[in-house]
Amino acid sequence: MRTAHVHRVTKETDITVTLALDGTGHHDIRTGIGFFDHMLEQLSRHSLIDLALRATGDTHIDFHHLTEDTGLAIGDALTQALGERKGITRYGLAYVPMDEALTRVVLDLSNRPHLVWQVALPRPKIGTMDTELFKEWFQAFANAAGLTLHVTCLYGENHHHIVEGCYKALARALRQAVTIDSRNHDTVPSTKGILSGPS
């Protein structure tokens, strides 16, 4: 089983993640931020990655540290569960419509972290959460997971729909990329023979 358990503790946050790549999308997520919980539930459900998460932190200041560190912890768990990344499909692509909004996510489990974020969120908040924090989460997740990640909202008006589309499209693209390729199940999908960062 491709699973991982991560406990990340700093002076600002305390986060525990348990993750299983070959799951059913079962989730048990508590960050204390309702909309954020909802997004992480979408990530789990639509990727079929089982995800249990408990996160506490200095949210009396703002939600920045908790959001970023949660991305780092989940990304770290994904990296651990992938191991040497043998046999994975590696690439993923998904388009997700949410009513009037359409989002595209393209990714490569290359172990070369890079984020391209083309998502306009001019409203400052969704519920109690600052909209600028979603890019911070995606950046932290890409860094820790070793993802080349391109997220584009092609169009949309409702901020809830736009952000939810980003998480659902990430989930569907991840579901493709982490799947074991039956024709190449015992080798690393790279001519270098290793996915360990830039050469």
Structure token pair of residue 46: 């639509």
pLDDT at 9 over 80: yes
CA atoms within 13 A on the CB side of 43: 28
pLDDT tens readout for residues 153-177: 999 999 999 999 999 999 999 999 9
Q: Do the strands 50-57 and 91-98 form a parallel or antiparallel pair, or are they unpaired?
A: unpaired
What is the phi/psi pair of residue 151, to 5°?
-120, 120
pLDDT computed for residue 197 by the predictor: 55
pLDDT computed for residue 69 by the predictor: 98
* pTM score, whole prediction: 0.94
pLDDT at 183 over 90: no
Sign of the torsion angle spanned by Cα atoms 33, 139, 118, 150: negative
Between the CA atoms of 129, 27, 14 and 161, what dihedral angle is there, to the nearest 10 degrees?
-10
CATH architecture, range 3-178: 2-Layer Sandwich (3.30)
